[in-house]
Chain A
Amino acid sequence: MRHSWWRWLVGILLVLAVFLPSMTWMQNQITQYKTNYKTPLDPTIMVPGSSASQNRFDALIKELRKETKTAHSVLKVKVAENGQLSYTGSIRRGDNQPFIVVAFENNRDGYANIVKQAQWLNLAMKDLIKTYHFNHFSTLGHSNGGLILSLFLERYLSQIKDVNVDRLMTIATPYNMESNSTTTQTAILKELIKYRKQLPKSLTVYSVAGTENYSSDGTVPANSVNQGKYVFQNQVSHYTQITVTGDDTTHSALPQNKQIVLLIRQYLLQETLPVKDRYQNQAQNQVDSRNASDDPGLP
């Protein structure tokens, strides 16, 4: 029994050597679970462009509901100039992929207005997250809506705790406003490029352009849409540019364009498309990639 005291000591030390690191390990695990956890609720936030109301996406949503079997419910939020939120519609219980349209009372064009609209979007998002407890979402922006969303993702999203954005799709978003130039940068583009490092690294971005002719969809120059690459490329995990031509490719018709509806279903909502639609879409993309390989910059 002479040695019993140090046996006890060794025993206690061994227990502590297992117990203490296992406690820190456990704390790490739990924080990791928390950060990796995604709520089943996975809304798609839609932001219309300038001069458009919260009803801007009705035609698109009607189209999406017709095509998909899931009956996405729609909640519309209108933000007044004083920050007051007014809701119409609702998120149906059990619907994990609802659409939330955020529109603004002041929906005018121009740099100053877009900056304000991004602030208002932040107000709306905070309220939505507080009410519906989702911690991730996807976004769809048409025209200037894409700019508002990009600004929001850069400036405000990181300040909202534990919430991540999965995907951003912009349709005919003029990253360089009405400018057709590939060299001069307008104020908004400068701003977006300046703070691009704040964009979440895990984000996947699709920028869809429509063209009536070779240079424009009638309102937004194709060059202006293309400037998006200076914002997203080499910052987000994937940045994909898609150009859609053919019927219904004028600027305002784009959201309900059949091809774009398919792109939204496939990329933004991550549906598994039926074979016929998938084929149609692939054929379209193949044409694009061939065009891309004609790029004179390639050897």
Chain B
Amino acid sequence: MRKLWGLNQRLNQWRAIRAIKEALRVVYPFILLMTVVDVLGQSILASDGFFFQIYHIGSWLPAIAVWRVVVQVMSIVINGLVAVMVAFMIANYLAKTYRSDALAVGIISALSFLTLNVNYQALGRKTTSMSQFMEANLGPQGIFLAIVVGLGVGWGASHLMTWFSRWRLRHPQFGQPSWTGRIVLPLTVILLIMVAVGYGLSLLTPYGINGVVYQALSTLVANPGHQGIVIVMVTTISNFLWWIGFVGPVSLAGNSSVTSLQNLSYAIQHGSGWGAPHLVTLHTLGDAYANFGGAGMTLSLVIAIWIGSRQVSYRRIANQTFLPNLVNLNEPTLLGLPLLFNPILLVPFLVAPAVNITLAWFALTWKLVPPIVYPVPRTTPGPLIAYLGTGGDWRALVLSLVCLSVSVLIYLPFVRLLNHEGGSDHAA
């Protein structure tokens, strides 16, 4: 623990880590609003939402189509551009620490990030069916790339600008450098570099740098087989990637895989999931017992903060993000605390799901609980997934509650450790 604390302190002194944390803190309110909108949209208004289904919202809420449109538009605007904001904020903060022109560097960084996400397939075509940007990469799943670009451009542009101003001072014959003059050069240089990188990548792959990583991860995660240990490893790797900013589509939730369908048809014919053909899968272990709140059991992190944290900002974020966590949308918790790039919270973030999967594995192989067989909405509150997915088996509910408590206990010491962290960070 002491070593971990030391590591945390050392990391916090890094300019890059501070920039990331600062940027995420600034972006948090936007993410929170976006997630609340998503909670509304996905769990209450969408026809496959949990609350939509259990309260039969479609049958009594008037003008549901209008509500859906409103929520969708808001979600597109904020959700769709969050990574651009992150790229801007990180470079902006770095430039401030270098005493450079923070606003200009931030804008250059945002533009660079967009340059890397130009859709080269749509370039020069008359068709309107293709978007000019790879839109998916501008949302939460682009956060990692946005962090990398923000750090790189923040550093590069700041130094270019300082170097250029010094050069002008040494050569006064060119006159006093103007605002335009100071911006145009670094902007040109950096955009040229980004176009070169982006175009080069587009020759290698049509999906952009992000797409490659996501595809590789998805194939890794898609079929982890029936080995408990492999499932634990895949989940841990996937959660680690969330921690460094690959948020979003590498989601473990998958109701429709072949094994799940075979389990479902077995259950329909036999009346229950006992003896289903695929007992141990990512779905029956991970989705059912290790995904409360989303990746890393963040629902139990929220509860652990309620119990053990004395940090005002943590408690506030826990209160604000409880509802999203309840329906498994945990992006605001990850970005708000921030959990991303926080070495202390990384440990329980990886350990809690792994322990839960192990618990579930024992319970399933010892036939203490049946596997989940019926599909449940993605927005079902975590502790209810197993209960509803088994068709109402109380043993599954008990196991869910055990998993939740165990995760809270795993998170608690680390949350308490963070109580020692002080300073202006937590005044927010």
Contacts and interface: CB of A to CB of B under 8 A. Distances in A.
B381 interface: yes
A30 interface: yes
B53 A34 contact: no
Contacts of B392: 23, 26-27
A26 B265 contact: no
B258 to A, nearest CB: 14
Contacts of A37: 265, 268-269
B268 A34 contact: yes
Interface residues of B, number: 15
A299 interface: no
Nearest to A28: B53
B384 A30 contact: no
Interface stretch (A14-22, A84-92, A185-193): A14-22
Contacts of A22: 50, 54, 380, 384, 388
A26 B388 contact: yes
A19 B394 CA distance: 13
A6 B272 CA distance: 39
B381 A33 contact: no
B179 interface: no
A55 interface: no
B267 to A, nearest CB: 8
A124 to B, nearest CB: 23
A24 to B, nearest CB: 8
Contacts of A24: 54
Nearest to A26: B388
B383 to A, nearest CB: 10
Contact of B384 (A19, A27, A39): A19
A29 interface: yes
Given A18-B384, A37-B268, A30 B54 contact: no
Contacts of A33: 264, 268, 374
B265 A18 contact: no
B303 to A, nearest CB: 13
A25 interface: yes
B54 A21 contact: yes
Nearest to B391: A30
B144 to A, nearest CB: 34
A30 B381 CA distance: 19
Interface string A25-62: 11101100110010100000000000000000000000
A23 B374 CA distance: 13
A24 B268 CA distance: 18
Given A18-B381, A19-B384, A21-B54, A26 B374 contact: yes
Interface string B382-418: 0010001001100000000000000000000000000
Nearest to B265: A37
Contact of A25 (B54, B265, B268, B269): B54
B55 interface: yes
Interface string B257-277: 000000011001100000000
A194 to B, nearest CB: 36
Given A18-B381, A33-B264, A37-B265, A25 B53 contact: yes
B243 to A, nearest CB: 30
Contacts of A27: 392
Contacts of B265: 37
B72 to A, nearest CB: 25
19 contacts: A18-B381, A18-B384, A21-B54, A22-B50, A22-B54, A22-B380, A22-B384, A23-B392, A25-B53, A25-B54, A25-B388, A26-B388, A29-B374, A30-B374, A30-B391, A33-B374, A37-B268, A37-B269, A133-B269
Given A18-B384, A21-B55, A30-B374, 9 more contacts: A18-B381, A22-B54, A22-B388, A23-B392, A25-B53, A25-B54, A26-B391, A26-B392, A37-B265
Interface of A: 18-19, 21-27, 29-30, 33-34, 37, 39, 133
What are the nearest 5 A-B pairs in CB distance? A21-B54, A25-B54, A37-B268, A22-B54, A26-B388
